[in-house]
Structure 1
Amino acid sequence: MKKTIRASLLSALVGMGALSAQSAVAADVNWPTRPVQVVVIANPGGDTDFNARMMAKYFNQITGKNMVVTNVAGGGGTLAAEQVKGAAADGNTILFTHTGQLIVNEVAGLSEDSFEAFDIACIAGVDKGAIFVASQDAGIKTLQELVDKAKANPGSISYGTEMGSFSHIQGLMFEQLAGVKLKMVDAGTVSEKVVALLGGRIDLGAISYGSVQDYVQGGQMAALGQPNSERNELLGDVPTFKEQSVDFTIDKPYVVAFPKGTDPAIVQKMAGIMQQITEMPEYAEELKKSFKQPVAYHDTEEAIAVLSKTRDDFMQYKDVLRAK
């Protein structure tokens, strides 16, 4: 027993030593030396772009160097990913993405690349602000009403999504876990889905609460549930799906990645800078105010583990996604 304890302690100390050495190397590397470009997979104005710009703002405060945000939307994020993948591995180009690009595109067959095609630095945040909303015309006020109607008339309730995207995965997972069949409709971007919901052209959508808050409070939409393991209290009185007997949870982590072959010390330094950012109260306040998003962070090792598990979870939808 004593030998086992000694071995465990030794292993822990060795691990701590390795981490300390890694941190020391990252601290010593001369980076950044000039403005760093962060390529964002989405258009300006959405939650992904907002998170990237918050990272850039506080990166500048910590390092004294600018982080220049470049939005490269299109192709489900593949255009931005290809741009970064082909960039010099010198630490001066970063990809800001999420599982909708890194994982769903691979599962859906939109890209042959996986997250292993990049050097992952960290998960800079996790979207906990998504909710399922129903349009006023749908006549659905609660999750139970949605489930009952969908079971009574399979395929009669339209779910607005972008085919092969993260929101498509959200819909497919809900169908499976709630035991219902929805009518999947390609409704476009978040702003286009909001317009479609308001016009009664779709019945249901999975959208960031910040994008529909005014309509929920005004009665034009009904908030049915949030797919978080525990309530994000920033969303007010919106219950989780689990509270309503549907064991549906799904996260959308925001990932910071470099071109393959980037100096590991630079990758680790970026992870450390992002951790510092998440510890700043003013950063947390901006996330809370703008997108009802709590602070979240995962270091390199944790981020890779999260991405690996997410890919395993999503692979069961491979055939459905590729058939669309």
Structure 2
Amino acid sequence: MKLKNLKKLLSAVALGTCLVAAGCGSDEGAAGGDKGANFPDKPINMIITHGAGGDTDYNARLLARLLEKELGQPVVPNNVTGANGSIALEQYKDGDKDGYTIIATNTAALIGNKATGLSDFSYEAFEPIAIYGRQAGENIVVKADSPYQNLNDLVEASKKNPGSIKYGVSMGGGVYIASVIMDKSIGAKFNVVDTGDAANRLTSLLGGHVDASSVPYSGAKEYIESGQLRSLGTLLSERSKMLPNIPSASETYPDLYVDTYYAVLAPKGTDPAVVEKLSKAITKVVNENPEYKAEVEKMNFQSPWVLSIEETKAELKKQLDHFLKFEKYLK
């Protein structure tokens, strides 16, 4: 689907949401600092912006399950997918401001959608609660029987036969931005195909619908270890300490990096006391829960890591500034 068609769809979603959402346009919850004291006293709805089976979904569901123990109320995950997370972000950014609806997403989508013009907003349209984890790194992967042994092989092959190599991305997000960087900064000439989120990109590659793609290591691990896929490198800005044998693409091509972090947001205007309480609860889970530590080390191949509200805002701004350097190529 072309970006301009996605933008029309998102506009329609925004209009429909404003007509039906109880919190749209309301100031309810924007004030009243005492609300945090009794929060939460009912279940919390966690909207996950990407599909079941992907890394964003896995991390969000793990956090939701452990937050229940911390907050004393169920945290119920619901996937609202499409347009690289923009459907959910558009739908819920102006939703109820009482703290009982929160959004779990990844920063590459949240920031990337603004840089590409898929969305006309970014993190500033929400109340950031926390960045609570790092991705293992989008791995540039090919099938194991492909002729490409490293990233340079893949790039050079695309230059020799422009448009012949199909590269699967999620339009508007970090992997799409990486494909643009490969084109404009490196000279790679792929046939870029929108194959959806991480789970769908993996399926498309395994099924032979694309020749290469970017997939989080956590999702590709079993296929790499079983010999079905080959990793040509990660899109991390530096090698993962837990995966030292996988190179970073930026070691060969310095501009080629997209760090993906997991984030939780609340609709704009949510009571600051509620946001702070949620942030502290997430921080406690990440820093103190041994089950969480074991799971993220196994799944993300990263140590537990969480940022405060202000640190989260600063990191989101840093990522947005990085992506906007390529804005003229993305729209």
Q: Which moved more, 1:214-223 or 1:144-153?
A: 144-153
Opposite residue 240 of structure 1, the aligned amino acid is S
| Structure 1 gap ranges (5+) | 1-24
Q: Matches of residues 161-240 of structure 1 in structure 2 within 5 Å? A: 161-235=169-243, 237-240=245-248
The 3 A distance-change label for structure 1 pair 28 and 83 is closer
2:284 maps to 1:283: no
| Structure 2 gap ranges (5+) | 1-32
- 1:151-187 Cα deviation digits (max 9, x unpaired): 4444443311122232201222234444433221223
Q: Which moved more, 1:46-55 or 1:174-183?
A: 174-183
2:110 maps to 1:68: no
Q: Structure 1: how far apart are the matches of 2:34 and 2:257?
A: 35
Give the TM-score taking structure 1 as reference length: 0.82
The 3 A distance-change label for structure 1 pair 273 and 132 is same
Q: CA contact under 8 A between 1:141 and 1:224: conserved in structure 2? A: yes
Q: Matches of residues 128-143 of structure 1 in structure 2 within 5 Å? A: 128-143=136-151
RMSD between aligned residues: 2.5
The 3 A distance-change label for structure 1 pair 181 and 246 is farther
Where is the helix percentage greater, Structure 1 or Structure 2? 1
Opposite residue 59 of structure 1, the aligned amino acid is L
- 1:31-50 Cα deviation digits (max 9, x unpaired): 21221111111122211111
Q: How far apart are 1:105 and its partner, in Å?
A: 2.0
Q: CA contact under 8 A between 1:209 and 1:235: conserved in structure 2? A: no
Q: Matches of residues 20-99 of structure 1 in structure 2 within 5 Å? A: 29-99=37-107
Q: How far apart are 1:210 and its partner, in Å?
A: 2.3
Opposite residue 300 of structure 1, the aligned amino acid is I
The 3 A distance-change label for structure 1 pair 298 and 175 is farther
Matched positions, count: 298
Q: Structure 2: how far apart are the matches of 1:237 and 1:257?
A: 34
Q: How far apart are 1:254 and its partner, in Å?
A: 1.6
Q: Structure 1: how far apart are the matches of 2:131 and 2:34?
A: 18
Q: How far apart are 1:137 and its partner, in Å?
A: 4.7
The 3 A distance-change label for structure 1 pair 27 and 282 is farther
Aligned residue for 2:114? 106
Q: How far apart are 1:203 and its partner, in Å?
A: 2.1
Opposite residue 305 of structure 2, the aligned amino acid is A
> Runs in 1 of length 4+ with deviation above 6 angstroms?
25-28
Q: How far apart are 1:29 and its partner, in Å?
A: 2.7
Q: CA contact under 8 A between 1:161 and 1:186: conserved in structure 2? A: yes
Opposite residue 283 of structure 1, the aligned amino acid is Y
The 3 A distance-change label for structure 1 pair 35 and 203 is same
Q: CA contact under 8 A between 1:38 and 1:95: conserved in structure 2? A: yes
Q: Structure 2: how far apart are the matches of 1:246 and 1:101?
A: 21
Q: CA contact under 8 A between 1:128 and 1:294: conserved in structure 2? A: no
2:306 maps to 1:321: no
Q: Structure 1: how far apart are the matches of 2:83 and 2:190?
A: 25
Q: Which moved more, 1:76-85 or 1:61-70?
A: 76-85
Aligned residue for 1:261? 269
The 3 A distance-change label for structure 1 pair 84 and 193 is closer
Q: Structure 2: how far apart are the matches of 1:229 and 1:190?
A: 19
Q: CA contact under 8 A between 2:137 and 2:259: conserved in structure 1? A: no
Opposite residue 229 of structure 2, the aligned amino acid is M
